[in-house]
Structure 1
Amino acid sequence: MPPDAARRSDRSRRAILVAALELVEALGYSRLTVEAVAARAGVGKQTIYRWWPSKGPLLFDALVEFGPAAVDHAVGGGLDADLRRELRAVVEELAERRFDQVCRLLVHEERTDLVMLLLVPRRMALEERLHRAQRSGEVRADVDVSAAVELLVGPVYQRWFLRAAPLTGGFADLVVDLVLRALGR
């Protein structure tokens, strides 16, 4: 029976994506090369260029497929605990070198559309949790949930982007405390 080309292609694709993430974490974006990814993945660089025009789109696909840990939207500790858990998860994602490197590259290349795709799952989880809080009376009914989520994640992303101060779980907790006061609890 001849080898299955589709399975071989999928194996090569996965190896390339994993190699790209490992190397961007080890070397950083500026030192990452397609040649190094090809060597680590055990493929020719022409294979990489057949699927991706440059290392930016390659890294984006790698992050989408193998990026930050699966989003756990467990609830059960009350609104305060749920928001702290979600915002701390954002901080942890941003602290991952591979996530940091790829997001910074995408921002530099003005691909905010792609950055948003990476950030949407956490944002949606926060919006859903605040909608549940509105329905249960934990948050005022007149609160604009989308704006409240911006109040939660905006300072975290700003601190990450500007590197003005350390991005920590304690900072995430402070933001949650301030936002909960603004929501009228």
Structure 2
Amino acid sequence: MAAQKPAHAPTPASERPHPDVSRRSQRSRQAIYDAALALVVEVGYPKTTIEGIAARAGVGKQTIYRWWSSKADVLLEAFLDLSEQAARAAGEETYTFPDTGDLAADLKAVLRATVDELRDPKFEAPSRALAAEGVVNEQLGREFVTKLLEPSLQLYVGRLRAAQDAGDVRPEIDPRIGLELFVAPLAQRWLQRSGPISHAYTDTLVDYALHGLAPR
């Protein structure tokens, strides 16, 4: 008869379940993302600190500095994660641009959604912080454009090219410049708070822009 292991005998280390380090790291990252975004909304970017993020997330400062070099880097990654979550909540892996065959309607729908996002405090505060920091922090500014702005702008480029193929936009138009006719005024008004942003405002931008882009 085989010998029985005493009930009180400790389990050998080789038989103990190993902690899932990757899952724990992901939980910590998400807590840090949530803390950074929340603090920027509550106290503003200038008063948000690595120490404050760490305390809010329940992690040590060294954990944050192991992954990021500054609060700006934390916020950028947190905002990227927030954008991805918003896309998944909408049932998409990434944002897409509608193509119903009606260019004006498609542009107005996207810009209306953009207005709603820009007026949502959880998006507005980090967006403004990153845009402002990107002006004085060249590296962050490049990353902000590359990772956040350019992918969205390329969706506009693709939709305008499809409109050119359909004969709704003149073939000699550069889509990358054409999109700025409605995106740039909205961004400037929002950043400088030079006037209200609304669905009616962006609808008007689209109408004005398409008057210039349409075939003669």
Q: What is the TM-score of this pair, normalised by structure 1?
A: 0.90
CA contact (8 A) 2:75 2:126 kept: no
| Separation in 1, partners of 2:190, 2:98 | 25
Q: Distance in 2 between matches of 1:93 and 1:99?
A: 10
Aligned: 1:83 with 2:107 = yes
State the partner residue of 1:2: 18
Task: Provide the residue aligned with 2:9 in structure 1.
Answer: none
CA spacing shift, 1:92–1:106, aligned 2, 3 Å: farther
The gaps in structure 2 that reach 5 residues or longer are 1-16, 88-94
Q: Is the 8 A contact 2:36 2:74 kept in 1?
A: yes
| Cα distance per residue 1:11-35 (max 9 Å; x no partner) | 1112111211121122210121212
Q: How many corresponding residue pairs?
A: 185
Q: Percent identity?
A: 43
In the other structure, the counterpart of 2:127 is 99
1:113, distance to aligned residue in structure 2 (A): 1.2
Partner residue of 1:43 out of 52, 59, 67: 59
Give per-residue Cα distances to partners, 1:30-79, cap 9 Å, x unaligned. 12121221122111111111111110111011111223732242332611
Tell me how far apart the structure 2 counterparts of residues 31 and 168 of structure 1 sit (CA, whole Å). Answer: 30
Paired residues of 1:76 and 1:82 also in contact (CA < 8 A): yes
> Offset at 1:152?
1.9
Conserved? CA contact 2:133–2:141, under 8 Å? no
State the match for 2:43 in structure 1.
Answer: 27
Whole-Å Cα distance in 1 between the matches of residues 36 and 164 of structure 2?
A: 42
Give 1 or 2 for the bigger CA radius of gyration: 2
Unpaired segments of 5 or more residues in structure 1?
Answer: none
Report matched runs for 1:4-153 at 5 Å.
Answer: 4-67=20-83, 69-70=86-87, 71-76=95-100, 78-95=102-119, 96-110=124-138, 111-116=140-145, 117-153=147-183
1:175 aligned residue: 205
Indicate the SS of the match to 2:106. helix
The 8 Å contact of residues 37 and 75 in structure 2, kept in 1 or not, is answered as: yes
Q: Which moved more, 1:67-76 or 1:110-119?
A: 67-76
Contact 1:94–1:100 (Cα < 8 Å) also in 2? no
Corresponding letter in the other structure for 2:109:
R
Highest RCO, 1 vs 2 (Cα 8 Å, sep ≥ 6): 1
Amino acid at match of 2:165: R
